[in-house]
Amino acid sequence: MIVDYILQALADPRRRMIVEILRTGEQPVGALVARLPIAQSGVSRHLRILREAGLVRVRREGQRRVYALQPEALRELTTWLLADRAVWDVRLDDLDAELARRLNTREGADE
């Protein structure tokens, strides 16, 4: 499942930092290196992992490589999260109803 790769890629705080920077727009590797507390080799490794997970794309611009977010992967993750949230919303509503029922039952017995 592609969501597994996305979540694994986003599990690392440095990769999340890269994603946050790329939210502002395309960035060449050099600009990313300048904004991160990581050596260029580390930034390149993290970018490769993000690219393999489908979170970023790269294009060549002369000698530079420019990275940008892949909105499709983020939409897929959002769709998955919203579906999971819907399940939890139902479960939490059921729990809330059960707790209210028990509270009402207890209050009725105390009278």
The per-residue pLDDT string of the chain (111 residues; one tens digit each, 9 = 90 and over) reads 688 999 999 999 999 999 999 999 999 999 999 999 999 999 999 999 999 999 999 999 999 999 999 989 888 888 888 887 778 888 888 888 998 988 888 777 766
For the chain, the straight-line distance linking the first and the last C-alpha, in angstroms and rounded, comes to: 55
- This model's pTM is above 0.95: no
Task: Decide: 24 and 18 in contact? Cβ < 8 Å.
Answer: no
Give the start-end residues of each E strand in the chain. 27-28, 56-61, 64-69
For 2-70, give the CATH class.
mainly alpha
C-alpha dihedral over 27, 51, 44, 32, to 10 degrees?
Answer: 20
**The pLDDT of residue 111:** 63
